[in-house]
Structure 1
Amino acid sequence: MDEAGFDNRDDYPYGYSPKGERCYALKSGKRNERVSWIAALKEGKVFAPLTFEGSCNRDLFEIWLKESLIPQLQPGNIIIIDNATFHKADATPRRR
């Protein structure tokens, strides 16, 4: 499982130019709108998707686990997650 997001920035704080030449570009400095999603991949198919406004946090991750992902799991399913701080929620199943 993993999460990702998209925002409405049209410009970026980096760019490319020929070696030795200065790169001129606009820098937004703020994000006004962000749409994110969280989902798992099971047998090559998207599983338990959730789309939401804003960024993922511990509360949202715990709700998604409890209400969407865990109820759909079968015995023997394994959840693989990265090391994001909000993945360390109390509701996160752990192998002991």
Structure 2
Amino acid sequence: MNLKAGVFGQSRSGSITAPFVHGGAMNNEIFKAYMEHVLVPTLSPDNIVVLDNLPAHKAPRARKAIEQVGAQMIFLLPIVSISTRSK
């Protein structure tokens, strides 16, 4: 049996808030629902939301929702994979 689940949340002052578990991979619709119904209602103007570079995270609607509450949205730098395998 191959079960997949996505677990999302935010870390704030040493605790996890806005937890969300989804039975599958992240996609645009799941991310929008998480942002609008779970994460954004917990944000305040001094918050910074840090995201990786998953294409779903770059939706203009997500940035707009975050910025409307006065929070900021930033992305991690892309990770470059370096192979250290010997030939």
Pair in the same fold by TM > 0.5: yes
Q: Percent identity?
A: 28
Instruction: Give 3-state SS (helix, strand or coil) of 1:80's partner.
Output: strand
Q: Which runs of 5+ in 1 are unaligned?
A: 1-7, 9-31
Under a length normalisation based on structure 2, what TM-score does the superposition of the two structures give? 0.66
Task: Report whether the alignment pairs 1:52 with 2:22.
Answer: yes
CA distance in 2, matches of 1:64, 1:55: 13
CA distance in 2, matches of 1:83, 1:46: 21
Q: Larger Cα Rg: Structure 1 or Structure 2?
A: 1
Higher helix share: 2
Match of 1:69 in 2: 39
Structure 1 segments (4+ residues) deviating >4 Å: none
CA distance in 2, matches of 1:83, 1:34: 20
Task: Report whether the alignment pairs 1:78 with 2:48.
Answer: yes
* One-letter amino acid of the counterpart of residue 64, structure 1: Y
